Structure 1
C-alpha cells in the first residue's frame, strides 16, 4: 500500500464513472476544514494513499447510470490543487453515438494542497463537492446561460496497489471555450465594455444572493468570456461554486438572533463594498 498509485488523470486515460446522489451540503463553521490533533497525528503515521483509503468521502447514495470518460486535455492537474480539473469526452452508457465534450472536476484528496498539514483534505473535498453540486441545483434555471449546464455528480473507483479501491467524487459540467477574465487583458476592452461586464458580474452575484447563496470565490479566475465564434448569445459564464455558503451566513450557533432577510432582494448598492470589487480592480478604472 506504500507504493504510489499510477496518476489516473493523464491525457488519453479512460475512466468509468457511476452517478451519485450527493449528501446535504456540509456545515460551514469557522475553522471547519482545519486539521485537528487526531488528523495531524494520522498524517505523521500514514502515507497519503493510506489516509485516502482510511477516510473515504461522505456516502450519499448511488445513482442509476454510468458513463465513460476519455481525458482530452488538462486544465488543472497534479499535486497541490484543490481539485483535478480536465476536459474529457463523455459517453453515457445506454446512449449510443451520443458523446459530449465536458469539463470534469474530481475532488481527489490524494493531490489536495493541505498547506503542510494545516488543512484537513478530506473535510475540504467533502465540503467543495457537496456545496458545488448543491449550488448547481439551486441555480438550475441559469444553467446553459449564466452558468454551465450541470451533467451530474459521480463516483470514481480507483484501484490501488494491494488490491484495494479508493473512491473519488466528481462533477461533470458543460465545456465553455474561451478565456477567463484572469486570462484576458482589460486593455483590450473599451471602458463601456468593461462597465457592461462588471454589471453582469454584479447582477449575477445579486441573483445568487437573492436565493440566499453567498459566492465566496467570485473573482476573475472564475468568470469565463466565451469564445464569440462558438457562442453568439452567451457573453459571460460563471464557474466554481465549491465555496458557496447557503443561508447567507456560516453555520453554528449565534449569540443574538439574526434577521438576514432570507429570500429578499437587497440592492448591490447597499451590499457591494470595496472589498467585493477588489478582485476585479484591474477591470475598473473609471
Structure 2
C-alpha cells in the first residue's frame, strides 16, 4: 500500500495553487550523466524521491518573493516527468516585466515515472535539463519574442505543506496556438507521411 504521508501530484499542482518564486542561481550541469559503480542508488520509489527532495531543500530569502504565480491549466505533456508544465497567472511581482499570463515549467523529480528510474536518476536529469534549457534561451536571446518564446527567468519555490522542500521553475512566454496533438491525434500521428507532418507544423507556427 502507498505511504499515506507521500504527496500526490494532483494535490501538489492543481488549478488555483499559488507559488512564491525567488530568482535563483542556475545549477552547474552534472559533470557526467554516467553512473559510477559506487554511485548512490537511484531513488526508484516516490517515497525515496520525496525524502531526498526534503533533504536537498534550500533556505529561501525572508524577503517578499520576486513574483507569485497561480497555476491555471496543466499542459498535455506534463505527467510523470521532471518538468510539470502549466499555464500560470501572475499574482504579484516586485517588477512590471512580467505579462499577466505565462508558462511555468516546474522541475520536480519527486513525481518522475517509477518505471523510468531504472534508466535515469531524476535529480541528475533535473539539473541537466535546467542548465541546458536556460543556456539555450541565453544563446537564443536575439530570437526571443519572434522565433522562440521569451524567457523570464529561473526561480526557486518552497512547498510549505511538504516540509518546505524546494522545486525549481522556469517562466516562459505563453504562445497562443493549437497543439499538434489536437490537430493530429496520437493514434494517427505515426501514419502521417513526412511531407504532411511538415505542412502541419508549418500551419501551427
- Does TM, scored on the shorter chain, surpass 0.5? yes
Q: Do the aligned residues in 2 keep the contact of 1:13 with 1:71 (CA within 8 Å)?
A: yes
- Contiguous gaps of at least 5 residues in structure 2: none
Trace 1:1-286 onto structure 2 (pairs within 5 A). 3-5=5-7, 7-27=11-31, 29=32, 32=33, 38-40=39-41, 43=44, 47-55=48-56, 66-76=66-76, 80-95=80-95, 99-113=99-113, 115-161=116-162, 164-185=163-184, 194=199, 197=202, 225=204, 236=205
- Contiguous gaps of at least 5 residues in structure 1: 198-223, 226-235, 237-286
Aligned to 1:103, what secondary structure does the other structure show? strand
Q: Do the aligned residues in 2 keep the contact of 1:34 with 1:119 (CA within 8 Å)?
A: no
Taking a change above 3 Å as real, the CA distance of residues 34 and 152 of structure 1, as seen in their structure-2 partners, is: same
Taking a change above 3 Å as real, the CA distance of residues 36 and 112 of structure 1, as seen in their structure-2 partners, is: farther
Q: Do the aligned residues in 1 keep the contact of 2:44 with 2:117 (CA within 8 Å)?
A: no
Offset of residue 94 of structure 1? 2.9
> Which has the greater radius of gyration?
1
Q: Do the aligned residues in 1 keep the contact of 2:81 with 2:109 (CA within 8 Å)?
A: no
> 1:100 and 1:196 mapped to 2: Cα distance?
27
Instruction: Give the length in aligned residue pairs.
Output: 187
Taking a change above 3 Å as real, the CA distance of residues 41 and 175 of structure 1, as seen in their structure-2 partners, is: closer
Regions of 4+ moved over 6 Å: none
Offset of residue 12 of structure 1? 0.9
Higher relative contact order, structure no. (Cα contacts within 8 Å, ≥ 6 residues apart): 2
Offset of residue 20 of structure 1? 1.3
Taking a change above 3 Å as real, the CA distance of residues 67 and 129 of structure 1, as seen in their structure-2 partners, is: same
Offset of residue 183 of structure 1? 3.9
> 2:135 and 2:69 mapped to 1: Cα distance?
23
- State the Cα deviation string for residues 86-120 of structure 1 (Å, max 9, x = none): 00002452347x75111110110101225143311
Aligned to 1:172, what secondary structure does the other structure show? strand
> 2:157 and 2:200 mapped to 1: Cα distance?
42
> 2:27 and 2:87 mapped to 1: Cα distance?
26
Q: Do the aligned residues in 2 keep the contact of 1:86 with 1:104 (CA within 8 Å)?
A: yes
Alignment RMSD:
3.7
Taking a change above 3 Å as real, the CA distance of residues 152 and 86 of structure 1, as seen in their structure-2 partners, is: same
Offset of residue 179 of structure 1? 2.2
